[in-house]
Structure 1
Amino acid sequence: MPSQFPTSPIGIVDTIYVKPTVRSPFRPVDAAEAVEGLGFSNDVHQDRASPRQLLLASAAAYTELNLPEHILRENLRITADTSRLHSGQLLRIGESVTLALTFQCEACGRLGPGVAGTAKNRRGMLARVVKGGTVRKHDPIFCVGTSAVTWSDNWQDRVEQVLRSVPDGFVIEFSQIARLAGIQSSYCRAFPALLKRLAPCQAQKAVPANGPGLRWAGGTRAAR
């Protein structure tokens, strides 16, 4: 019987981590349940609207850069080189789980002193779960196609992409833009300057929390 997967995997799952709560540490597990449209079950990063549901880091980044254990805060450490992956790729893990890759994760200062400069573009690739199932250690990983949605690694481009998706007649709050674009809420302070550089038809759709207008939340609409 022919295989439903490509014959050659791009790598395997080396380690799996979940973070049950904001205050709890990441913990390694032998298997995790991926929930379609959310992320890992029992993981604080579950978010139906976010492009940052899972972070995939490369095992090679740890060895080549001599990084401390789990300093990149990934959900999956894999043997594939994540710096060679790109937005829109679909990865099949094991028998059923499918991930849509979104964008390369920025190595920010929250990782600790000196880590951002060392890791640079090697922190890993972010992804959304498009088909759920169980991910297990040593599962093979296959590239099985491409998604219709791609994201830029540049956060400003992603903000503009979110604004382009807002229907006419609706506005979106700064905090929701940050959520949909996959950036920290602290970036909202830079939005006014960014909006001045965008076309007025896009910029006028972004409002602060107390701004007027009919809200758009990203696929759902709520009046206010």
Structure 2
Amino acid sequence: MSKGVEAGRVLALALRAAHSPSSTPAPYIEAIAGTGLAGDRHANPLSPRQVLLASASVYADLTLPAHALGENLLVDFDTATLHSGTVLQVGSTVLLRLMFQCEACGYLDGYLPGVSARIGRRRGILARVLAGGAIDPGDRILDLGCVMPAWDDDWRERVAQVLRTVPDGMVLTYARLALLAGVQPTYCRAFPRLVARLGPGHAGKAVPAHAAAGRRCWDGQGLFGDAAYKVCSS
């Protein structure tokens, strides 16, 4: 592994199982390259939201109950200072590519009224798994630098970024666009108006599922370009 600057350590781990409303503490986690965390509902090769890192200081400052932020890795440093494109080494083998800051969802107000408006960029930062292995509490985290392409914190910019990548002659369903851009499926209802505002270069690239029948649909393979890190770090 490359040498980096020590950012801090892992304090605790948790997984978000499929159909579970909350996170469950885990004694260790197995990270799978290109996929995410074993047993976590966000483990998906086509998702930019495979791992969520959150800072312990946010819990202390806002008096939130444990796991309210839904993080996988609770860390002892401020995740709001981290930048998209940065690669973190966790323990001896795991590499995480930071994607974008996690937006503050309204459900956080169920824990503490008004907290979603107050938390700003401190909800946590989302990442993809570049290299897998075991993650344990106490593991050291190294910042290897900002060496991958950045993704925008604004979901609208991410939607535009995905649409620019759609190959000529192919379309993307709204559901797949939401997955690739890292937004909730409920955002699909906003896509027609947003795509129209993006201009003629994007028009027709994203369609509802019923309009995709019989057309060449892009599945998003290769969008994130994770393999580029292996080339530049070898």
TM-score, normalising length from structure 2? Answer: 0.88
1:69-93 deviations in whole A, cap 9, x for unaligned? 1110100100110000010000000
Counterparts of 2:163 and 2:2, CA distance in 1: 38
Report 1:28-39 matches (<5 A). 28-39=25-36
- CA distance 1:84–1:216, shift in 2 (3 Å): same
Q: Give the drift of 1:203.
A: 2.2
Letter in 2 for 1:66: T
Corresponding residue of 1:138: 138
Letter in 2 for 1:190: A
Counterparts of 2:179 and 2:38, CA distance in 1: 20
Corresponding residue of 1:218: 220
Report 1:130-169 matches (<5 A). 130-169=130-169
Fraction of identical pairs, as percent: 44
**8 Å CA contact 1:32, 1:41 repeated in 2:** yes
Q: Give the drift of 1:24.
A: 6.4
Q: Give the drift of 1:150.
A: 1.5
Letter in 2 for 1:122: R
Q: How many residues align?
A: 217
Runs of 4+ in 1 over 3 A off after TM superposition: none
Letter in 2 for 1:151: W
Corresponding residue of 1:70: 67
Q: Give the drift of 1:146.
A: 2.7
Q: Give the drift of 1:4.
A: 4.7
- CA distance 1:204–1:4, shift in 2 (3 Å): closer
Counterparts of 2:17 and 2:217, CA distance in 1: 31
Corresponding residue of 2:227: none
Corresponding residue of 2:230: none
Counterparts of 1:194 and 1:29, CA distance in 2: 39
Corresponding residue of 2:117: 117
Aligned-pair RMSD on alpha carbons?
A: 1.6
Q: Give the drift of 1:55.
A: 0.4
| Partner secondary structure for residue 197 of structure 2 | coil
Report 1:1-224 matches (<5 A). 4-6=2-4, 8-23=5-20, 25-113=22-110, 114=113, 115-212=115-212, 213-219=215-221
Unaligned runs of 5+ in 2: 223-234
**8 Å CA contact 1:173, 1:207 repeated in 2:** yes
**8 Å CA contact 1:100, 1:147 repeated in 2:** no
1:104-128 deviations in whole A, cap 9, x for unaligned? 0011112343231232321000000
Unaligned runs of 5+ in 1: none
1:33-52 deviations in whole A, cap 9, x for unaligned? 00001111111111110000
